[in-house]
Amino acid sequence: MAEFLCGLDAAVTVVGGKWKPLILWALSVEPRRTGELRRELPGVSEKVLTQQLRELENDGVVHREIHQEVPPRVVYSLTAEGAQLDRALRPLGEWGEEHMDGIREARR
């Protein structure tokens, strides 16, 4: 069972990993199919993307809906909790936007 030191620890456990905050951001714009997400996130492998979506779904922030068509269409969207989480990530995104050049320079 996961034990958390504090709220931030719990939140970081949910959004930790290179792609998860970006997946939330993409889904906040509109619900997407896996292929659409892959195009939004250049460099992610299908295996990693599927794994991360499954974890986000298990944590209750992403909803997976299967439309019974041929072939079946799988669409991912944010749950209410996921939309809240995405909003909570916005100030962090703004900080990153502002300091991106400095961080890039520091890691050169």
Binding footprint of its own copies on the chain (CB under 8 A): 1-18, 21-22, 25, 41-42, 58-60, 81, 84-85, 87-100, 102-104, 106-108
Environment class of residue 86 by beta-carbon count within 10 Å: exposed (0-12), middle (13-18) or buried (19+)? Answer: buried
Nearer to its own copies, 39 or 73 (CB): 39
The CB-of-88 to its own copies minimum distance in angstroms stands at 4
The CB-of-6 to its own copies minimum distance in angstroms stands at 7
How many CB atoms lie under 10 A from the CB of residue 59?
Answer: 18
The CB-of-5 to its own copies minimum distance in angstroms stands at 6
